[in-house]
Every structure is written in C-alpha cells, then in structure tokens.
Structure 1
C-alpha cells in the first residue's frame, strides 16, 4: 500500500492538528523516517499525543511501523501527473491523452490502496451468502448491473433491480444468511444508506464500497472497501469512480471464480452455448 497516497486519501477525516502532521508526512516523508515522535511534534507545532493519534488513525500500531511502511514504498514512488482536468480549449488528442492518464492513475491508486484483509472478507461474505443483494443508484447502479451479470453466470443467486422501490421491496426477504453489497462513491447516498441499514438490521453481511473519508455508509457496513477519492470538481460522467469500482468488483469476482474453477468453467461454458444457439 502507498502510505503517502493513503494519507492524502484520508486527509479530510483528520482533525485540524492531525492535518499538520499529515502535511508534514506528505511533504517530507523521506525525512520523516528518521525522526522521532517528539521531533515531528516540534516541527509541526503539535504534541506527541497528536502524532500518535495520527498514526493510529492510519491503523498502524506505532510510529516505527508507519516509518517502515513508508521506507518500503520509497523505491516505487512515481512522479505525479498534473493538469489532468479537461478544459474547454482542449483538442481531441488532449482529451484522449488526459482520459488515458486519468484512467491509468486511478487504477494504480486503487491497487496501491487495496486492503487485502478486507478484500478477503468481502470475498468470503459474497461467496458464502445464500443470496447476494446488490444496490446502487445512478453510475453505481451501472456497476451493480455489471457484477450482477457476472455473478449470475457462475450460479450465484443475485438480487438486483434498477428500480429503487422494487429493490426496497426485495429487501423485505433478506436474511442473516445473505449478503448485501451497497455501492455509493460518496458513501452518503440516502437510498443506499437506507438499504445498508435495513440489511444490517436483518442480520445480513453488509459490504460497502465508497471513497475514502468519513461517510454514513462506512459507519453502517460490516466491511467497507474504499476507492480513491479521484473525481474532479466537474464529474464528467463519474468516469474514474465507475472504473475503479468496476475493477474492485472484478477482482472479487475473479477470486470467487478461482475458488470454484471447475464448476464455474462448466457454468460459463453452458451459458455461452445457450447464447450461441440464439446467434446460429
């Protein structure tokens, strides 16, 4: 995991004093690995307690563990690409190049920030569920439609509907044997938060997918998977968030198929043959 990138992604959740420590690590991470808690506190005009809280907020046991993680990342640091926003005067070639850069960078961020323990728990939750309920609104609904298709092809019992009201009706039948995957880039979509609350109350395993930072969805779900906070001021079609979420769910799908490869291969071949009959 890219620790400096993680600090940037989680920046909004820090307190005012913790942001001073975060700024120091972002700008001086090479120097930070040689500093003590006391010296970092003095440099950032904070206290040792603030530095410790900052380290704990990043889920490290202590400063030494954080410094070791930064040191491990240093060899793979890549230069940041600037000015990726599409401007009114950009030509087609510039739009294509910026779109490519945005897509590549957002996917690289996703993989750099992946928490493998949480990914594994999500795989277990979906794989072991009697039924898998999917919920997302707008662009998140498109992502749900895609994973619904994939999971259905390998024999999973999936419940998904683009109509919000029908999806809420479906939730009347969710049980503790099921899993509910709730997708919301902001993590604050009212409908998605409501679905997570209903599923959690029913005892189902809840998996939330949202961006980094504090939000309602992450407070509710048993497992929260994060995608980079990578959308610009003008979200032109929610491109980055859609692609990172698709990639994240594709990873889970591939891991599930790998667990049941012989049976899954048979199911995929069977559905392919059925579709082929329509084309012949």
Structure 2
C-alpha cells in the first residue's frame, strides 16, 4: 500500500503520527499513544506485544500501520527505528521554576531548533512546487486566517504584495465568509489554520472550492477537515496543548515555511525583484 497524503521525507514517522492523530479511531489512538510514549519499546515489540501494551486487538495495530501508509507492522517498525537514529538528543528541555534567565533561553532555543528540524522533515517538495505554480497562475490570492492564524495571514499578505502578486488578506470570520462566497475560477484561497478544524475557516473554504476556486492550506494536521478541501496541503509540526493556542513556537514554524515558499515564488517570478525594489523605494523617505 502506498503512503497516504503528501510525500514526506523518509525520517518522519513519529511526526506523521502527530499530524494524523485527530483522524485516528479510538483504538488507533491507543496504539499511537503507546508508540509515541515509548518508541524504543515499540521497535522491539511484536504485533502481539504492542497490542497488549495499547490494550487493543492485533487488527487495530495493523490498521494503524496501514493508515500511516505502511504495508505492514514490520515496515512501520523499520521507519520508527530510523526516526530514533536521526532524532536529536534533547534532555532536560522542560522549563522549571528554578531555571534562571539563561537556562530558559537555552532550553527554548533547543526546542525551536528541534521544531525547525521537524518542519524540514514534514516538507514535501512536490507540495511546495505545486503551491508555487498555483499561486503564480492565480488571478488573485485570498489569504484567510482567524484568531492567531489571522496574524500569520497578514504577514503572508505583506510578503506576497512585496513581490508583486495580486493578494488580499482577511481575518474577520464574517468578511471571510462573504469574500469566499464571491470567489470563482482564477481565484486562489490560502487558508491558515493550525488545527484545520476551525468552522469559521472550513465552511468558507468549502464554499470557495465549490465555486471553482483553488485552495492551499497551511495546517498542522494532514487529515483535518480543511485539508479535505485543499488542492495542496503544507504541513508544520502540531504540538500545541489546549492551553497553548497561538503559541509563538507554532507561529515561528509557520513563518519559516512561508519564508521558504515566498523565496521560491520570488525565484520563479521574473518581476519579483522589480516589485521588491519599487516597494522599498516607496517607503524610503519614511526613515530618519
């Protein structure tokens, strides 16, 4: 069986579990928890061992492996083993009340370095190239994001405008709904949602897609509701806890991926340098 979803780098199985977690069944989530909590033990386990650890049937373990795109449990174990070889060693990274300023700074830097590597592991070259082609071909790009994702949407709007693309951004749910209702062929929606499950974004994206618009989504969950309507899915690590909505680390990874995307757009658009020069000159006299 072929791997599901976009083509990812070889060493990303544990990240893939995180990305697909919300779409798993209750039994499959138990298997996922058993693997992610102790991947070293999972690599040494048989199907029976893992099913007993997760307290599910052996068929649930097999279904879990196949949902991730593997032909069977053995292929899944080999991929997890490769993950463990390549995974950076990060010890004592949790911030404690007794940590001084430099210790906090070091731990947070270590965390962000790890997340940057995870973002790279999730990048699909095919998806990036497809996004570049679609955005350059679009008559107009409509960037949507609500809540914290709305801030990311505004930044993307700024970046795309500076390289001369026809773009607008909205982060108000009502405006997004009205905007999406008017879209059609030639329009492209770039939807940003970490969870991929925000109704204020999913419903308008569905309508825009039904009207003939193209859709790119930036999300942390490969099989989220919004991804079902996307022509292209761009993934970033999804590690926000319920109390961490809009975490800066998540936004940094989104901005890192968008920076890569905008660099590729500039490389492939002959007018990009001229647009950057014009926009820079337009505000030159605003500086002391």
Name 2:255's counterpart in structure 1: 246
Q: Would the alpha carbon gap of residues 79 and 9 (structure 1) be closer, same or farther in structure 2, given more than 3 Å must change?
A: farther
Q: 1:87-106, aligned counterparts within 5 Å?
A: 87=97, 91-106=100-115
Deviations, residues 39-66 of structure 1 (Å, cap 9, x unaligned) = 7668866555433321221123444553
- The question of whether the paired residues in 2 share the 8 Å contact of 1:182 and 1:195 is answered with no
- Greater shift, 53-62 or 240-249, is seen at 53-62
Matched, 1:272 2:280: yes
Q: Would the alpha carbon gap of residues 43 and 137 (structure 1) be closer, same or farther in structure 2, given more than 3 Å must change?
A: closer
Alpha-carbon distance in 2 for matches of 1:187, 1:75? 31
Alpha-carbon distance in 1 for matches of 2:197, 2:282? 41
* Alignment RMSD: 3.2
Matched, 1:55 2:65: yes
- Residue 223 of structure 1 and its aligned partner are, at CA, apart by 2.8
Alpha-carbon distance in 1 for matches of 2:73, 2:101? 47
Q: Would the alpha carbon gap of residues 60 and 120 (structure 1) be closer, same or farther in structure 2, given more than 3 Å must change?
A: farther
Alpha-carbon distance in 1 for matches of 2:130, 2:236? 16
**Count of aligned residue pairs for this structure pair:** 278
Alpha-carbon distance in 2 for matches of 1:245, 1:64? 33
Match for residue 177 of structure 2 among 130, 152, 168: 168
Name 1:75's counterpart in structure 2: 85
Q: Would the alpha carbon gap of residues 103 and 197 (structure 1) be closer, same or farther in structure 2, given more than 3 Å must change?
A: same
Q: Would the alpha carbon gap of residues 129 and 86 (structure 1) be closer, same or farther in structure 2, given more than 3 Å must change?
A: farther
- The question of whether the paired residues in 1 share the 8 Å contact of 2:153 and 2:170 is answered with no
Alpha-carbon distance in 1 for matches of 2:56, 2:279? 61
Match for residue 194 of structure 1 among 188, 199, 203: 203
- Residue 212 of structure 1 and its aligned partner are, at CA, apart by 2.5
- Residue 199 of structure 1 and its aligned partner are, at CA, apart by 1.1
- Greater shift, 198-207 or 16-25, is seen at 16-25
- The question of whether the paired residues in 1 share the 8 Å contact of 2:70 and 2:76 is answered with yes
Give secondary structure in 2 for the equivalent of 1:234.
Answer: helix
Deviations, residues 187-226 of structure 1 (Å, cap 9, x unaligned) = 2222111221221111111122222275432233333333
Question: Any stretches of 5+ residues in structure 2 without a counterpart?
Answer: 1-10
Question: Any stretches of 5+ residues in structure 1 without a counterpart?
Answer: none
Matched, 1:235 2:244: yes
Name 2:146's counterpart in structure 1: 137
- The question of whether the paired residues in 2 share the 8 Å contact of 1:32 and 1:67 is answered with yes
Q: 1:150-161, aligned counterparts within 5 Å?
A: 150-161=159-170
Give secondary structure in 1 for the equivalent of 2:235.
Answer: strand
